[in-house]
Structure 1
């Protein structure tokens, strides 16, 4: 468990992000960048291995109403391919205080932190054939982040059973993780 100060620090000590919601250039075309389901970024067949470069690209990535993903600058907009979801949740911190509700913050594979709650909800879809849960968190700019298995198990450990539902309560919200 983390202290509330630690949680606040994670959320506030993030580098500024470009104001891509204000940028609306015309489509420049498709760029040969593919974001793999395992979080790797591939450009022209080769993996982008520099983490800082992936972070930079992720900071200008958004999903638009057409369901497509774009890298956006003030003057260019390039469509990229995404296999599953563009981001992964790879870590989380939990704070529990006796006088306040539990807070859960999650970390993406590009080192951004988001607090689970109404602005960044946790959603779990279940595959109808396999029954396998498919959890994701809404981050920003229309981007969802797939919750990795280890983090999902940690969230399940925090959840409570209410009837036949498994619920995670945080920041005044309840998120259903599945049925028991």
Structure 2
């Protein structure tokens, strides 16, 4: 028996819209409209048909209906249709960071490019991926439901300035505390 598409589920409350799963197809599910000609650049700029979307309110609206499936594909999912979009790196960027408190009690808050505020913690971890060729770090924070924000370079430098040494799993790291959890940025020299 198919779920009534008009009734919100508990997951819908996380993003503030009633959106059925992007994985549904067929007569009971959402029609897949193929690929939408939308691209999110590494710097967080949204493009439609090759041109930047200049209306921030439209980007904010689209950002509330983006999903990522198990294969790593990104989708815009509305109550009536879904379409795949291209994301060069992460669908969001973390463009500002505020810190309150100190040590293990410190709380790091990040503002995304769509003006959402998120706090780093066990439910929203910070991770740093390293390019295997160049060794360049790419820091991320989880925004929601398998969607991350790339922490922009100036904000990452601010985090590095706040970093402390901590031994974890037998290795010395430079990293940050937020909400009682330590997030390694890299190995201590």
- TM-score calculated relative to the size of structure 2: 0.80
Moved more, 120-129 or 105-114: 120-129
SS in structure 2 of the partner of residue 28 of structure 1: strand
Cα displacement (A) at 1:22: 5.9
Are 2:182 and 1:178 aligned? no
In the alignment, which residue of structure 2 is the partner of 1:93?
98
Superposed structure 1 runs of 4+ greater than 6 Å apart = none
Structural mapping, 1:39-54, within 5 Å: 39-54=44-59
User: Which blocks of at least 5 consecutive residues in structure 1 are unaligned?
Assistant: 1-15
Are 2:28 and 1:29 aligned? no
Bigger relative CO (Cα 8 Å, ≥ 6 apart):
1
In the alignment, which residue of structure 1 is the partner of 2:175?
167
In the alignment, which residue of structure 2 is the partner of 1:138?
142
Cα displacement (A) at 1:28: 2.3
In the alignment, which residue of structure 1 is the partner of 2:16?
17
Q: How many residue pairs end up in the alignment?
A: 164
Structural mapping, 1:40-119, within 5 Å: 40-96=45-101, 101-119=105-123
Q: State whether residues 117 and 173 of structure 1, in contact with CA within 8 Å, keep that contact through their aligned partners in structure 2.
A: yes
Q: State whether residues 123 and 137 of structure 1, in contact with CA within 8 Å, keep that contact through their aligned partners in structure 2.
A: yes
- TM-score calculated relative to the size of structure 1: 0.84
CA RMSD across the alignment: 1.9
